[in-house]
Amino acid sequence: MARNGTKPRKTKTQSFYDRIAEIHNITLKLNGYRASVAKFLHSLDLNVNKDSVVLDAGCGTGLVALGFYDAGYKPAKTVALDLSSGSLKLAMEQFKKDKKTKSKKIVPVQGNVLHLPFDDETFDVVFSCGVLEYVPLDDGLREMSRVLKPTGRLVFIPVKPGFVGSVLEFLYNFKIHPLESVRSSAKRYFNIIGRYKFPPVEPISWSKAIFVLEKK
C-alpha cells in the first residue's frame, strides 16, 4: 500500500502483462514451451526433495512451474511470484486444473523481482525465465542470490540475442542482456554450473538461453 493509504499505481510492465495474459499464455502453449522446459529440468539434478522450498521468480502464466512439476519434482512448497496480478491469477487457475501440479503447495505472491518479499536464504531453488530483461541484470541476480540458501541453485532462462529475440524485444518492450554480460554478472554471486542449449528443433531454442547457477 502507498503511504497515503491508496493503492500504488501500476507500472507499465505490470499493466501490459495484465492486458495480454490470456494471449501470451495461448502463444506459449502453441509453441510447446512447457514440454521443452520439462524435458530440460528433468535432465538436471536439482536435489529437490519433500523439504525443499522453490521460487518461480516472475512466474508469468506458470509455464516454468508447470514444466517443473511435469519433470517429476515434488517440493514442500513452490512460491509463484509475479508483478502482474492478471498473469498470476491465470497461473493459479492452470495449476488447479493440472493433475501433475500440486496446487495446494503453490503459494501466489504479487511482487517485484528487484525487491523480493522474502528473508535471506529462504529457497533451495529459484527459477527465472524472461524476467530480468525488464530490470538491471546485476540487481536482479544479486536479489535472487540473497534469497537462495548457500549452494542453492538458480535456473536462469534469459532471452538470447538474435532475430527472434529482437522481435520479442520490440513487441514486449524489454532489453536483452548480452550473454557475456550475463556470464560476468552471474560470476559475482554464483558459480556457473552449466550453460545449456535447447534442441534447435524446439521453438524455445530460437529465443532462450539457459544457465544453471549455484550460489557461492
pLDDT in tens, 91-139: 999 999 998 898 999 999 999 999 999 999 999 999 999 899 999 999 9
Report the number of distinct structural domains present in the chain.
1
* DSSP character at residue 174: -
pLDDT of residue 22: 54
Residue 20 has pLDDT above 50, yes or no: no
- What is the distance between the alpha carbons of residues 153 and 155, in angstroms, rounded to a whole number? 6
Is residue 21 within 8 Å of 90, Cβ to Cβ?
Answer: yes
- What is the distance between the alpha carbons of residues 56 and 128, in angstroms, rounded to a whole number? 6
CATH number at residue 195: 3.40.50.150
Domain annotation covers residue 6:
no
Residues 6+ apart with CB under 8 A from 32: 202, 203, 204
Domain interval for residue 105: 12-215
Domain annotation covers residue 3:
no
Mean pLDDT computed over 19-29: 50
173 — pLDDT class (breaks 50, 70, 90): confident
Domain annotation covers residue 203:
yes
* Cβ neighbour number for residue 71 with a 10 Å cutoff: 18
Residue 36 has pLDDT above 80, yes or no: yes
How large a percentage of the chain has pLDDT more than 70?
Answer: 86
Domain annotation covers residue 4:
no
Lowest mean pLDDT across 28-37, 151-160, 198-207:
28-37
Domain annotation covers residue 166:
yes
Domain annotation covers residue 45:
yes
pLDDT of residue 45: 85
Domain annotation covers residue 59:
yes
Whole-structure pTM value:
0.87
pLDDT of residue 21: 46
